[in-house]
């Protein structure tokens, strides 16, 4: 019985030594780098904005040198862990998906303040998050893909999960960068917020066990309430 052979063997790449101008051309297979920098690493700078409150939510702003910014959910956003049920660009008074721009100057785009709502996200538990634009800018386009496939936002690669693309004014760039958090600042700030949250939860649990009503601040006589 003849040994099995690969019918495509003759099509496989085989490196042949070549030189151009006396310099040897390297092999495209042997010089392959497994941990090649991602598109985000090569072309964008990471910044962050945290919408603080009882339930802080972090957002990532990928800043390109041409003043274009991608507005994304940070990987620590609570909605990713909860599960994303839906996302809409219809924010009530306007529909961001109807935004249109024309020409190289991107004329006609909706003007955004840093706290303007881009979209409304709803989790599997029914909790809603109003996704902010994070920076003062002009809306170029929204990623309508998430309206039909919101679950993909939970696992999409960094940069691919952008909610919207916005354009900054040249004179505003440096001030806006200073108003945002760098990667290092974000890591520190988010850690502080989560530690404070953990301490708050721990305190509530202790108060509950001791019979203390956190809402009205009165001691509760558990024995009397049981009668």
Q: Residue 216: pLDDT band by 50, 70, 90 thresholds?
A: low
Ranges 13-17, 23-27, 127-131, 170-174: which has the least confidence: 13-17
- Answer for the pair 57, 50: CB distance below 8 angstroms, yes or no: yes
- Phi first, then psi: give them for residue 60, nearest 5 degrees: -105, 135
pLDDT at 206: 76
Ranges 18-22, 54-58, 83-87, 154-158: which has the least confidence: 18-22
Short-list 142, 169, 157, 170, CA closest to 71? 142
State yes or no: pLDDT of 12 exceeds 80: no
State how far the Cα of 73 lies from the Cα of 96, in Å rounded to an integer.
17
User: What six digits make up the tokens of 112?
Assistant: 């955004």
26, 53, 133, 174 from 150: Cα distances, Å? 43, 24, 18, 33
Ranges 96-100, 142-146, 178-182, 207-211: which has the least confidence: 207-211
In the chain, alpha helices (H): 39-43, 78-82, 145-148, 173-179, 183-209, 222-226
State how far the Cα of 47 lies from the Cα of 42, in Å rounded to an integer.
15
In a 13 Å sphere around the CA of 72, the CA atoms on its Cβ side amount to 24
Q: What is the pTM of this model?
A: 0.76
pLDDT at 31: 64
Q: Residue 97: pLDDT band by 50, 70, 90 thresholds?
A: very high
- Cβ of 64: how many Cβ atoms within 10 Å? 14
Give 101's contacts (C-beta < 8 A, 6+ positions apart).
107, 108, 109, 138, 139, 140, 141
State yes or no: pLDDT of 102 exceeds 50: yes
- Answer for the pair 142, 119: CB distance below 8 angstroms, yes or no: yes
Strand 84-88 to 117-123 pairing: antiparallel
- Answer for the pair 193, 77: CB distance below 8 angstroms, yes or no: no
- Answer for the pair 114, 132: CB distance below 8 angstroms, yes or no: yes
The label of the residue with tokens 């108003």 reads 179
The label of the residue with tokens 């972090």 reads 58
pLDDT at 223: 44
Q: Residue 4: pLDDT band by 50, 70, 90 thresholds?
A: low
């Amino acid at each position: 019985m003849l040994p099995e052979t690969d019918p495509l063997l003759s099509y496989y790449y085989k490196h042949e030594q070549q030189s151009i101008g006396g310099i040897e051309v390297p092999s495209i297979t042997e010089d392959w780098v497994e941990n090649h920098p991602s598109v985000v690493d090569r072309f964008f700078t990471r910044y962050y904005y945290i919408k603080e409150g009882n339930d802080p939510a972090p957002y990532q702003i990928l800043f390109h040198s041409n003043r274009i910014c991608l507005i994304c959910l940070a990987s620590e956003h609570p909605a990713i862990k909860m599960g994303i049920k839906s996302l809409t660009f219809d924010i009530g008074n306007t529909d961001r998906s109807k935004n249109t721009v024309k020409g190289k100057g991107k004329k006609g785009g909706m003007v955004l303040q840093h706290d303007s709502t881009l979209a409304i996200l709803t989790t599997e538990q029914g909790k809603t998050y109003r996704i902010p634009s994070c920076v003062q800018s002009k809306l170029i386009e929204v990623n309508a893909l998430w309206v039909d496939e919101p679950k993909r936002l939970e696992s999409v690669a960094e940069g691919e999960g952008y909610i919207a693309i916005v354009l900054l004014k040249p004179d505003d760039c440096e001030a806006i960068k200073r108003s945002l958090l760098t990667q290092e600042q974000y890591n520190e700030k988010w850690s502080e917020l989560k530690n404070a949250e953990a301490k708050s939860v721990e305190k509530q649990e202790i108060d509950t066990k001791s019979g203390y009503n956190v809402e009205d601040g009165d001691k509760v006589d558990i024995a009397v309430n049981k009668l």
